[in-house]
Structure 1
């Protein structure tokens, strides 16, 4: 089995990132706009259409607000792995930022190379979308600056 693992820092709080990550049916609007062009949710399975044409059905395995982790598995579509399990997690970092973790286990192993390219591009889009989407509120301990009108 092959694994693809990426981690990157996001200039947003873990709660802000989790708010987007937990919205399982809105990947195309909130988490990866442009990289994903459509998401349709039917019960616990979402059908995701990627910009380059790939369509996959992903079943929700776990949505854990305590760990801020979502896990899913590919169950159909134009990608045909014999096994595909993935999870994304928002972990707290110093200064109120977030470490975003994306991990995928896949079989057959020859799918690892194209999935790695896919994940690398997706991670860039996800980071930009998360940072653009958050409304920054003062972090704990930071002074609030108000402008007089």
Structure 2
């Protein structure tokens, strides 16, 4: 099985990053703006539209708050099989790591998916790294 593992260090607390990762119906706004242009829920699945026009249905397998992990699987489209997970791990008080693992059949589909994953990872790093720091909020004087 073709596998791509991507780890993204994010300059934001894990709880804040998890808040956005677990909001699976707003991935186009909170995780990958510009890469995904639309995302809508249909029962336990989300329909995502990529900037290149590709539309994919992803069944949400689990949203696990205890482990800060989301798992999903592509339904009814190329490739023959695609499942993925994203897990947020605490690295420090204001730093986290997002671990994104995608598995594909046939193996060769990983070559097709790799550029999308790379662009998605960059978008996530940018979007998630822009979390507001509550200690730097303007306070009425």
Task: Give the shorter-chain TM-score range.
Answer: over 0.9
What 5-or-longer segments of structure 1 have no aligned partner? 139-143
2:83 equivalent to 1:85: yes
Which has the greater radius of gyration?
Answer: 1
**Out of 125, 137, 144, which is 2:134 matched to?**
137
1:30-77 Cα shifts (integer Å, max 9, x gaps) = 11111100001011000000001111000000100010000000003x
1:127 corresponds in structure 2 to 125
Of 101, 112, 115, which residue of structure 2 is paired with 1:114? 112
Say yes or no: does 1:102 pair with 2:121: no
Structure 1 residues 58 and 137: alpha-carbon distance in aligned structure 2, compared to 1, 3 A threshold? same
Q: How does the TM-score come out when normalised to structure 1?
A: 0.88
Where in structure 1 do 4 or more consecutive aligned residues deviate above 2 Å? 144-149
Q: 1:110: Cα distance to partner?
A: 1.1
Aligned in 2, Cα 1:146/1:122: closer, same or farther, shift over 3 Å? Answer: closer
Q: CA RMSD in A?
A: 1.8
Q: State the partner residue of 1:57.
A: 57
Unmatched 5+ residue regions in structure 2? none
